[in-house]
Structure 1
C-alpha cells in the first residue's frame, strides 16, 4: 500500500498535534517502519552508536557513528540498524521550519541538496556541534512551553544551516547564484508537472527562459541535460509505482500518462536496461521487510 505518513500519526488519543517531534532512533513509530515508506515531513537522523543501512530513494547508504541523514518529504526510505545502535531523530513539517529558507534565501546552497544531505559523514568537531544542538532541542521538548517551541524552531534551522554549510563544495558567484536559482526553480517545476509536461520547451516557457539556456544550466548544476532531468523524475516515480503501488503495468502507464503500456516498456528498457517486470523484481529486493 502506498501510504505517506504525517506527524499526526504520532499525536493520537487527544495529544496536541505538534509541527515537530523528537524520538530515540530505536523508537517504535505508529506504522510499520520495517517496510519502505514515505513521510510528508522532514527527518534528521543523528547516528551516535552502532551501524546500519539507510536506503533512500533506492540508494543505500552505510552509516556509522558520526553520521547524519536528512530525509526529505516524499522520499522513499527504510532504515536497518544493529541492536546496539543509539541515536535520535527530529521530525518537522516543512511549512513551519524551512520551506522559505530552502526555496528562497539559500537557493545558491540548494543545488543537489537531497543527494548531499541524505547522508553526511561529519568530522568529530562537526558532529559534536550537531549533537549539542540535538541535546538542546531534546531538553526543550521534554519541558515544552511557548518559548521552548520557538527555541526548537530556531535550533532546527541552525542544524539545517550547519549541515548545508558542511556539505557545500564551494561558494557561488553572483552569476552562479542566479543560475542555480533557475535550476532549483526548474527542479521544483519538474516535481510538480512531470506527468503532464515532457518537453524542455514547456518548462522553459514557465520560467521565461530558452530551452538552450535551461539545458546548459541543467548540465552545469545537475550534470545532465534538462530532458534527462525530466526523464529521471518520471523514472523515479515509475520505480516507486512498480515497487509499491500494486498497480498493473497498464495502470502505471496510464497514471504516468504514457501513450501505451508499450511506451512505458520502451522507456523502462532504455533507462534500466531491462523490462518493467525485471526492474520490479530488482526493486522489491532492495526494500525487503526486516525480520
Structure 2
C-alpha cells in the first residue's frame, strides 16, 4: 500500500504484498472478514468486481452511495476510490485481476475496451443481474474458484474469467451498443480516453476536437447523444472527480491540489470547484 502522496493505493491483487498473483477470487464474506482493516477510502491499481448474492449496507464509489441488493454487481477500474459499510450479512464473490492479466493471452490488446463496465464510467459501473442470468454467472465464478484452488492452468482460469465478462456483457442492459453509427461510437470512446489522459493539462473541448479531427460542435453533439452531457461538462466532471479524490488526503493543502490539477492559482480552483459542487474545497473536505 502506498500512502506517500495522495489516496492509499492497494497495489497487489491478493491484497497480500508477499503474494504477487495477477488474479484473486474469494468468497465475499470471507474476504470482508480477512480485510476488515480496509474500511477507509482507498483505490486499487487492478480491476476489481463484486457480485452480491445477498447482503445489505452501502458501498461508496467515487463519492456515490449505492445500497447493496442481491445479485447486484459492480465493477471498479484502477484509480477509482471506494469504501464500504456492510451490515455483516453479505454473501457473494469478489474478483481482483491485474491490468495486464489478458495481455499475453489476447491478440487484441484493447479487447477489454469492448466492456463498458470496465471503463470506469459511473453510468455503467453497477447493475443488477436479471433472474435468467444469475445461475450461469454464479456457476462460472464457482468454476473459477475451484480452478484456482485446484491449481489449474492460468490460461484455463483466463478463459473462464473472459467467459464471465462476455456473459455479463450480454446480460447487462448497460452493455454499450455500437448503434447505427460506429464512427460516432469510436469518436466518443477516443474522446473519453483522451480526457482520462489529459484532463489536468487540457481543459478546452476545442483542443480535444482538434485531436479527433472534428469540430467542437460535432464533438458536443456526439457526447450529448451518448450520455446527455456536452464535451465541456465531461471534462469538468473529470476534473472535479479528481479534486474530490485528492481532497480525501488531508496531508495535501488546497494550493497543492490546485497545482496538481494545473490551475493557475488557488482562487481560480476554488471558484471552479464551488461552481460545480456548491461547496468550496474546504467545505467538501469537512463533510468527508
Q: Does TM-score exceed 0.5, indicating one fold?
A: yes
2:106 paired residue number = none
Q: Does the Cα contact within 8 Å between 1:72 and 1:114 map onto a contact in 2? A: no
> How far apart in 2 are the matches of 1:3 and 1:161?
31
1:28-67 mapped onto 2 (5 Å cutoff): 28=33, 32-67=37-72
1:248 paired residue number = 253
Residue 200 of structure 1 deviates from its aligned partner by 1.1
Q: 1:140 aligns with which of 137, 147, 150?
A: 147
1:120 matches 2:106? no
> How far apart in 1 are the matches of 2:131 and 2:35?
33
1:18 paired residue number = 21
> How far apart in 2 are the matches of 1:71 and 1:56?
8
Residue 216 of structure 1 deviates from its aligned partner by 1.0
1:227 matches 2:232? yes
Structure of higher RCO (CA pairs closer than 8 Å, 6+ residues apart): 1
Q: Name the SS for the 1:83 alignment partner.
A: coil
Q: Does the Cα contact within 8 Å between 2:76 and 2:118 map onto a contact in 1? A: no
1:288 paired residue number = none
Q: How high is the TM-score relative to the length of structure 2?
A: 0.87
Q: Does the Cα contact within 8 Å between 2:117 and 2:125 map onto a contact in 1? A: no
Q: Name the SS for the 1:43 alignment partner.
A: strand
Aligned residues: 275
Q: Does the Cα contact within 8 Å between 1:112 and 1:222 map onto a contact in 2? A: no
Cα deviation, 1:217-275, whole Å, max 9, x if unaligned, reads 11111211111111111000111111225211111111111111110111011101122
2:190 paired residue number = 185
> How far apart in 1 are the matches of 2:206 and 2:25?
44
Q: How high is the TM-score relative to the length of structure 1?
A: 0.86
1:102 matches 2:107? no
Give 5+ residue unaligned stretches, structure 1: 285-291
